[in-house]
């Protein structure tokens, strides 16, 4: 698998070294092992875990702001865990409400010795006061970007952003989504096409970013 992983990382332009390669491979092994006993990811995806989950997660590495990163609804750790492995300069908080998946996240964090990862079992509502501000919020296996924005916006820095992974939506749905997002005051937004090594379909991400001028002028 390492050869395919290296090829995928090179195509994405994602920086890595021997240590991060080893930890990414070990993480994939942990997901495969635990998925036999608990439902971390879809069983039909396990054979294409590298492309559908690991490389898909790492494709957004270039969109991360400096500072802390929060992964909302982290599930099995995608995208937060692979990104934390490749970006040890950033601090990651992985939030997951499921007890079983949260247990897996804590185990993976300990086994991989990821000192820049904190795991939080919680169902965020947006009313919580988190103990830090985040430059980037990530959301991948959730369905409503506007709901996620309401949850995370107060915890983002003045130039913070939400990077939301979209499924393959038809263009008319994307247009409607953008119109809804444009109704949010004080943000700029765009949809970005993402080409994932080994996958034929173009994946899309929605980026909602706070407008510095709006927040500084208030």
Grade residue 2 by pLDDT with cuts at 50, 70 and 90.
Answer: confident
* Candidate ranges 106-110, 180-184, 200-204, 206-210; pick with highest mean pLDDT: 106-110
Query: Does the pLDDT value for residue 4 go beyond 80?
Result: yes
Rounded Cα gap, residues 117 and 27, in angstroms: 14
Is 0.85 topped by the overall pTM? Answer: yes
pLDDT recorded at residue 56 = 96
DSSP string, 112-177: TT-TTEEEEE----S----SS-EEEEEE-S-S-HHHHHHHHGGGEEEEEEEEEEE----HHHHHHH
Nearest to 73 by CA among 152, 16, 183: 152
pLDDT recorded at residue 182 = 77
In whole numbers, what is the pLDDT of the chain averaged over residues? Answer: 89
| pLDDT tens, position by position, 94-134 | 999 999 999 999 999 999 999 999 999 998 887 776 889 99
- Annotated domain spans of the chain: 2-216
Query: Does the pLDDT value for residue 60 go beyond 90?
Result: yes
Query: Does the pLDDT value for residue 173 go beyond 60?
Result: yes
- Percentage of the chain with pLDDT > 70? 93
- Taking the chain, what is the end-to-end CA distance rounded to the nearest angstrom? 51
CATH class of 2-216: alpha beta
pLDDT recorded at residue 118 = 97
Tokens encoding 43:
């069983």
Grade residue 24 by pLDDT with cuts at 50, 70 and 90.
Answer: very high
pLDDT recorded at residue 215 = 43
pLDDT recorded at residue 206 = 92
């Amino acid at each position: 698998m390492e050869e395919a992983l290296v090829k995928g990382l090179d195509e994405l332009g994602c920086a890595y070294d021997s240590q991060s390669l080893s930890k990414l491979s070990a993480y994939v092994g942990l997901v495969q092992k635990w998925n036999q006993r608990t439902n971390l990811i879809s069983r039909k995806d396990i054979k294409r875990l590298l492309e559908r989950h690991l490389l898909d997660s790492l494709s957004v590495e270039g969109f991360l702001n400096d500072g802390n990163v929060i992964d909302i609804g982290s599930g099995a750790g995608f995208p937060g865990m692979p990104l934390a492995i490749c970006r040890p300069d950033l601090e990651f908080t992985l939030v997951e409400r499921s007890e079983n998946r949260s247990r897996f996240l804590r185990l993976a964090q300990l086994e991989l010795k990821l000192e820049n990862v904190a795991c939080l079992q919680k169902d965020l509502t947006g009313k919580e006061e988190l103990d830090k501000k985040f430059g980037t919020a990530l959301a991948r296996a959730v369905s409503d970007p506007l709901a996620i924005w309401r949850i995370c916006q107060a915890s983002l820095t003045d130039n913070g952003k939400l990077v939301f992974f979209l499924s393959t939506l038809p263009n008319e749905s994307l247009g409607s989504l953008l119109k809804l997002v444009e109704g949010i005051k004080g943000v700029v937004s765009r949809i970005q096409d993402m080409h994932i090594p080994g996958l034929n379909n173009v994946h899309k991400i929605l980026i909602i970013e706070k407008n510095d001028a709006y927040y500084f002028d208030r």
